[in-house]
Amino acid sequence: MAPEPPLLSMTGITKSFPGVRALDGVDLEVQAGEVHCLLGQNGAGKSTLIKVLAGAHQPDGGEITWRGEPVTLGSPVAAMRLGIATIYQELDLIEGLSVAENVFLGHEPTSAGFVVRGSTARTATAQLLKRLGHPEIDPARPVGELSAAQQQIVSMARALSHEVRLIVMDEPSAALDPDEVDNLFRIVADLTAEGVAVVYISHRLEEIRRIGDRVTVLKDGRAVAGGLPAESTPTREVVALMTGRNVEYVFPERPRAGFATGREPVLKVEGLTRRGEFAPVDLELRPGEIVGLAGLVGSGRSEILETVYGARRADGGRVLVEGTPLPPGSVRAAVRAGIGLAPEERKAQGLLMLESVSSNVSISTLSRFARAGWLDRRAERAAAHQAVRELSLRPDNPDAAIRTLSGGNQQKAVLARWLLRGCKVLLLDEPTRGVDIGARAELYAVIRRLADEGLAVLLVSSEVPEVLGLADRVLVLREGSVVHTADARELDEHRVLDLVMEGNPTP
């Protein structure tokens, strides 16, 4: 083969967000005509990397060369001009516009520079759809009427409507049925045969084996392995690369196995289900126990938590607190019964970002500090102060604006809210997301201490070591079903990753 420069080469890419170093010197090299797979756990930096590649994020450092020439990808338009197209996991189509309008959005074929020639766009779209194996999609139909799989195809047609040399696909198979996945793979094969490179992101190892040429593994913002042969690298090695840890988490000591068996369950979930999200789930939570739900994004973890909490209405099954069933779909009933939730998106779902620590802590307990609606602000502030002190939140000032706090301390404020309320069951959804490694150990200790004081904790985390290190019992989820339940001490990370990726319950 002629020594040709790689199509794309990224070296030493760094990118930081406030408090998080998302990319810490990533290298990636992509050849024309190959399928290059990008693997990594949640938070490894995959999304940030592809946004840099799409021109949506500007890297803080590092070099990008395109066909041997150094380039800067200053905007999505700049990336597109070079021939880089990105298909995001959350499709970025406009539902009210037609298929053809979406495909040619931003580069509509025009007469005299501004009159859109709709028929030309429709004809070209029809050709693209035919090439993608979906001639049945009508270019004139509004995108909102199409199925998720068809929308994916439209997204791909949009990518191909440009002169494209590199297509980035972020978990394209996540929303597809098996036969649609086959079609997707056929399209990928056609593209690479024409010399187009594909950067393919997926959690599913078996897919990567089927279509991938080479694999780059990301972990904690670094490429821990680049250009491994996709077919021959053993699964064990890939998993080890994804999970191998630089930083050892320090987990608090657990009580002995089975310590809670004799206790009366405080939370019982019986056959709880939501169509399309998760199959019937049963679980019991005893005082003092931490139960973990492990699984990938989309495995139904957060959905289960939010349904237990009443934030989503269950299609079937029930939730009992101390033997009393909760009315479905009522957060207020759940809170009154003694359940508290620390939601996944702390800023969007948990906190009042314009308010003080005190207001954020007392919000679920306001009536306790009120007489006929009038707030006793001194009592409120004192109680909030007491609660944040117990969790050693810093700064030790209930009047501090919540947005000035670090992620770990914001999370403590959410925990303090439920501590103040005196809840019996705490649901934690990704409690350490956006929390510095150093602050995590402290948060783990706080959670364990709350459990030791009699709280029952249900923990969701995409970080497997976190679930294994913190929980007493673990339920492993894959695609909405519990595939394995075990004492946390009987599982190791590889085993769990095997389970969530391959879904094979037998060892």
Partner 1 sequence: MTQPATTAQKEAPTSAAESAADKESSRRPLGLRWDVRSLSLLGVLAVLVAVGGITAPDEFLATSNLQLVLTQASVIGVVTVGMTFVIVSGGIDLSVGAIVALASVWATTVATQEFGFGGILFTAVAVGVGCGLVNGVLIAYGRMVPFIATLAMLASARGLALQITDGRTQIVTVDSVLDLGVRDAYVLGIPPLVLVFAAVTVIGWLVLNRTTFGRRTVAVGGNAEAARLAGIDVRRQRLYLYLLSGLCCGIAAFMLIVLAGSGQNTNGNLYELDAIAAAIIGGTLLSGGRGTIVGSVLGVLVFTTITNIFALNNLETAVQQIAKGAIIVAAVLVQRRSLRGGDA
Beta bridge mates, 261: none
Residue 445's φ and ψ, nearest 5 degrees, are -65, -40
The rounded distance, in Å, linking the Cα atoms of 306 and 431 is 14
Stretch touching partner 1 by CB under 8 A, among 188-196, 232-240, 269-277, 332-340: 332-340
In this structure, the number of other CB atoms found within 10 A of the CB of residue 96 comes to 10
**Contact flag: residue 417 with partner 1 (CB under 8 A):** yes
The rounded distance, in Å, linking the Cα atoms of 433 and 305 is 16
- Which of 401, 441, 445, 483 is in the footprint of partner 1 by CB under 8 A? 401
Q: Do the Cβ atoms of 356 and 384 come closer than 8 Å?
A: no
Show the binding pattern over residues 120-149: x = contacts partner 1 (CB under 8 A), - = does not: ------------------------------
- Of 218 and 311, the one with the shorter C-beta distance to partner 1 is 311
**Nearest approach, Cβ of residue 472 and partner 1 (Å):** 26
Count of residues of this chain found to bind partner 1 when the rule CB under 8 A is applied: 51
**Contact flag: residue 374 with partner 1 (CB under 8 A):** yes
- Which of 373, 378, 506, 507 is in the footprint of partner 1 by CB under 8 A? 373
- Which of 189, 353, 379, 437 is in the footprint of partner 1 by CB under 8 A? 353
Q: What is the DSSP pairing of strand 8-17 with strand 61-66?
A: antiparallel
**Nearest approach, Cβ of residue 91 and partner 1 (Å):** 6
Q: What is the DSSP string of 293-360?
A: EE--TTSSHHHHHHHHTTSS--SEEEEEETTEEPPTT-HHHHHHHTEEEE-SSIIIII--TTSBHHHH
- Of 96 and 244, the one with the shorter C-beta distance to partner 1 is 96
Q: What residues have CB less than 8 Å from 384, skipping those under 6 apart?
A: 357, 358, 361, 362, 398, 416, 420
- Which of 313, 336, 449, 489 is in the footprint of partner 1 by CB under 8 A? 336
**Contact flag: residue 95 with partner 1 (CB under 8 A):** yes
Stretch touching partner 1 by CB under 8 A, among 65-73, 255-263, 362-370, 483-491: 362-370
**Contact flag: residue 379 with partner 1 (CB under 8 A):** no
Tokens for 424, please give them. 């019996």
**Nearest approach, Cβ of residue 375 and partner 1 (Å):** 6
**Contact flag: residue 375 with partner 1 (CB under 8 A):** yes
**Nearest approach, Cβ of residue 439 and partner 1 (Å):** 17
- Which of 311, 393, 482, 499 is in the footprint of partner 1 by CB under 8 A? 311
Nearest one of 10, 44, 71, 6 to 241, comparing CA atoms = 44
- Which of 32, 363, 483, 486 is in the footprint of partner 1 by CB under 8 A? 363
**Contact flag: residue 406 with partner 1 (CB under 8 A):** no
The rounded distance, in Å, linking the Cα atoms of 353 and 201 is 33
**Contact flag: residue 150 with partner 1 (CB under 8 A):** no
Packed helices 493-502 and 235-243: angle between N→C axes, nearest 10 degrees: 120
State how far the alpha carbon of 259 is from the alpha carbons of 255, 256, 312, 452, in Å.
Answer: 7, 6, 32, 11
State how far the alpha carbon of 248 is from the alpha carbons of 38, 437, 440, 469, in Å.
Answer: 24, 9, 11, 11
**Nearest approach, Cβ of residue 401 and partner 1 (Å):** 5
**Nearest approach, Cβ of residue 252 and partner 1 (Å):** 27
Between CA 450 and CA 459, with CA 454 as vertex, the angle to 5 degrees is: 55
**Contact flag: residue 104 with partner 1 (CB under 8 A):** no
- Which of 237, 322, 399, 487 is in the footprint of partner 1 by CB under 8 A? 399
The rounded distance, in Å, linking the Cα atoms of 487 and 507 is 16
Instruction: Enumerate binding residues for partner 1 (CB under 8 A).
Output: 17-18, 51, 54, 56-58, 75-76, 86, 88, 90-95, 309, 311, 331-332, 334-336, 341, 343, 348-356, 359, 363-364, 366-367, 370, 373-375, 377, 399-401, 403-404, 417
